[in-house]
Structure 1
Amino acid sequence: MTARALQRMIHVGCRELGLDADTRRDLQLVATGKASMAEMSEAELAKLLEALKARGFKPGFKPGVEPGAKGRRPAAPRPDLRYIHVLWGLLGKAGALKKPGRDGLNAFLRTRFEGKWGSVPIDIDALRDAGQINDVTRALKDMCRRAGVDT
């Protein structure tokens, strides 16, 4: 790992551990005898990173996300599908939904459109038919209008 990459990792570690600049410099002095990372060799930077790991820093893991969890899903592949997600989110924030998450949106699709379309995809982002996407958008806009949500 390059010196710059180690410095970045050290800054991330300090931020995740809640260390301010003065505390970081004190830790640098204790771990390497130098107050400035610019003066440190790669070996000294690695030693400082190990000191952060000893204090609980786990590189590669985001705080609040369980190891192995994927975190957030990527954005929907099409703009019209992203708009559906936005409308659903607005309805959720307005308190107009019983189940405001992605599961609720997929359940809405099944209950509202399964009889009309014959079958529905297991996930909203799998919709590809423009007519079906338009049906969902219209239904959500109507729900927004009834709930008093500006679209």
Structure 2
Amino acid sequence: MTRQKYLQLIHIAAHHLKLDDTTYRQLLHRLTGETSAKALNISQLARVLETLKAKGFRIQSTQPTTKKQTDRPQIQKIQALWQAMVDDGIVRDASATALAHFVKRETGCDSPYWLDNPQASQVIEKLKQWQKRVARTTSC
């Protein structure tokens, strides 16, 4: 792994673990004697990343979704509802990124493909409620 990738993952891990700046720098100092990740060599960066993993950070793949993930009926329903809302003018941004932001706000999960079944059901219901709200306000 490159030095830049280690730095990136360490900063992502600190954010996901909700470490404030002081706590983050204390962790670095305790493990390496330095207070900045930029001053660390690769082996020190690896040690810091392993410590963050031990505290609960998990590296999530950013690989494109597989066919199997998009075959889930609930994911297809979420995408169909989103597209219908775009077509109706309820949603302005039809992008997958916009849908991912909605999913993140509603469930805390970064992507619709990572939702478990209860979370996917929750997103479907939220989208349906949104559609109904807009339909009610425009029919008056």
Using structure 2 for the length normalisation, give the TM-score: 0.51
User: What amino acid maps onto 2:33 in structure 1?
Assistant: G
In the alignment, the residues of structure 2 paired with residue 148 and residue 54 of structure 1 have an alpha-carbon distance, to the nearest angstrom, of 50
Rate the CA distance shift 1:60–1:34 in 2: closer, same or farther, 3 A: same
Q: How does 1:107-146 map to 2 (within 5 A)?
A: 144=135
Can you list the C-alpha shifts for 1:47-90, whole angstroms capped at 9, x where unaligned?
1001101111111179xxxxxx77x77x97xxxx93x3333967
Shift of 1:24: 0.6
Using structure 1 for the length normalisation, give the TM-score: 0.47
User: What amino acid maps onto 2:32 in structure 1?
Assistant: T
In the alignment, the residues of structure 1 paired with residue 131 and residue 85 of structure 2 have an alpha-carbon distance, to the nearest angstrom, of 14
Q: RMSD of aligned C-alpha atoms?
A: 3.7
Q: Which residue of 1 aligns with 2:32?
A: 32
In the alignment, the residues of structure 2 paired with residue 53 and residue 88 of structure 1 have an alpha-carbon distance, to the nearest angstrom, of 43
Q: Secondary structure at the match of 2:58?
A: coil
Where in structure 2 are there 5+ consecutive unaligned residues?
63-68, 92-127
Q: Which residue of 2 aligns with 1:21?
A: 21
User: What amino acid maps onto 1:93 in structure 2?
Assistant: W
CA contact (8 A) 1:94 1:149 kept: no
Rate the CA distance shift 1:61–1:16 in 2: closer, same or farther, 3 A: farther
User: Alignment identity in percent?
Assistant: 26
Q: Which residue of 1 aligns with 2:59?
A: 59
Rate the CA distance shift 1:30–1:94 in 2: closer, same or farther, 3 A: same
Shift of 1:94: 5.5
In terms of fraction of residues, the more helix-rich structure is 2
Where in structure 1 are there 5+ consecutive unaligned residues?
63-68, 98-143
User: What amino acid maps onto 2:23 in structure 1?
Assistant: T
In the TM superposition, structure 1's runs of 4+ consecutive aligned residues that sit over 2 Å from their partners are: 84-92, 94-97, 147-150
Q: Which residue of 1 aligns with 2:130?
A: 93
Shift of 1:95: 3.2
In the alignment, the residues of structure 2 paired with residue 89 and residue 5 of structure 1 have an alpha-carbon distance, to the nearest angstrom, of 39
- How many residues of Structure 1 are paired with residues of Structure 2 in the alignment? 90
Rate the CA distance shift 1:61–1:26 in 2: closer, same or farther, 3 A: farther
Shift of 1:31: 1.3
User: What amino acid maps onto 1:14 in structure 2?
Assistant: A
Larger gyration radius, structure 1 or structure 2: 1
User: What amino acid maps onto 2:138 in structure 1?
Assistant: V
